[in-house]
Amino acid sequence: MTYTTTLAPRALSLFITGTDTGVGKTLFSAALLHALARYHPRVVGMKPVAAGTELIDGVPANDDVLALRAASSVRVPPELDNPVLLPDPVSPHIAAERAGVCIDIAHLVACHRALEQLADAVVVEGAGGFHVPLSATETGADLAQALDLPVVLVVGLRLGCLNHAMLTAEAIRARGLTLAGWVANHIDPAMLAQEDNIAFLQQRLRAPLLASIPYQAAPDPRAFPVCLPAAWQHAMTRHDTTLLA
């Protein structure tokens, strides 16, 4: 007897982290969504945990979440693209404790899986740096490991970034995750030897440079190119895991 199998397409999913908070993860995530939209009809951003809100038309909102939604081509239930929204702009574990909220990584993973059924490409932006605390016992690294996605590292170019970048890349790989690429964001226009720093990281990070973001007084995710690996331009099948690395 002969069996045939039809492989269902799966979404391309990527996890975006940074060397610190405020290094441009949201800016790059939005730019990546725009770039992916040229190849995938349905792209969506996800911010699993967002800390810090303001009232817009009487509804609490987070700037990062709004930016990702603006760059997405498909609308999804808010409880999926931002499962945890916390009022205070502090570390997620503190914000969650203040709000009486338990950040459940299994729930965040389930929300991501639901998004994969609604989109062709999903860009997941982590909070803060890779090891930002989510609770007394878990960090953003635990979330990244549970999602098991290729990771893109956004490096904020400022004094000290080489150490931060190398440590973060080491931490990503220590979790058994693939560092699929990195981004140089010129956040400090007064920094000396910026190109020398980029050249060093190109040699040492062992991952492709996906974008070099110029300093922008008013950040615009469409103002710079993103170099997409060829594999990210494809629709994939459930068994086609090699394209994720």
User: Is 4 domain-assigned?
Assistant: no
Predicted confidence at residue 219, as pLDDT, reads 92
Residue 73 lies in a domain: yes
* 140-154 average pLDDT score: 98
Q: Which domain holds residue 212?
A: 11-237
43-46 and 59-61 as β-strands: parallel, antiparallel, unpaired?
A: unpaired
Rg of the chain over CA atoms, in angstroms? 18
Q: What percent of the chain has pLDDT over 90?
A: 91
Q: How far apart, in Å, do the first and last CA atoms of the chain sit?
A: 36
| Percentage, residues of the chain above pLDDT 70 | 92
Give pTM, 2 decimals.
Answer: 0.92
Give the total number of structural domains in the chain. 1
* Residues forming the active site: 47
Residue 155 φ then ψ, to 5°: -105, 120
- 6 located within any domain: no
Neighbours of 174 (CB within 10 A): 10
Q: What CATH number does the domain containing 103 carry?
A: 3.40.50.300
Quick one: pLDDT at residue 9?
Answer: 59
* pLDDT confidence of residue 234: 81
Cα(166)–Cα(156) distance, rounded to whole angstroms?
13
Would residue 1 count as lying in a domain? Answer: no
pLDDT digits (tens, 9 = 90+) for 154-190: 999 999 999 999 999 999 999 999 999 999 999 999 9
Q: What's the chain's average pLDDT?
A: 92
Asked whether residue 31 is domain-assigned, the answer is yes
155 in a structural domain: yes
For residue 108, tell me if it sits in a domain: yes
Higher pLDDT: 133 or 234? It is 133
Question: What is the crossing angle of helices 194-204 and 161-174, to 10°?
Answer: 20
**pLDDT of 10:** 75
- Does some domain include residue 245? no
Q: Give pLDDT tens digits for 50-61.
A: 999 999 999 999
212 pairs with which residues across the strands?
Answer: 184
Range list of H helices, the chain:
25-36, 63-71, 78-81, 92-99, 105-116, 140-147, 161-174, 194-204
How far is residue 172's CA from residue 147's CA, in Å, rounded to a whole number?
Answer: 13
pLDDT band at 235 (very low <50, low <70, confident <90, very high): low
Handedness of CA 219, 37, 20, 213 (dihedral sign): negative
Amino acid, single-letter form, for residue 234: H
Q: How confident is the model at residue 241 (pLDDT cuts 50, 70, 90)?
A: very low
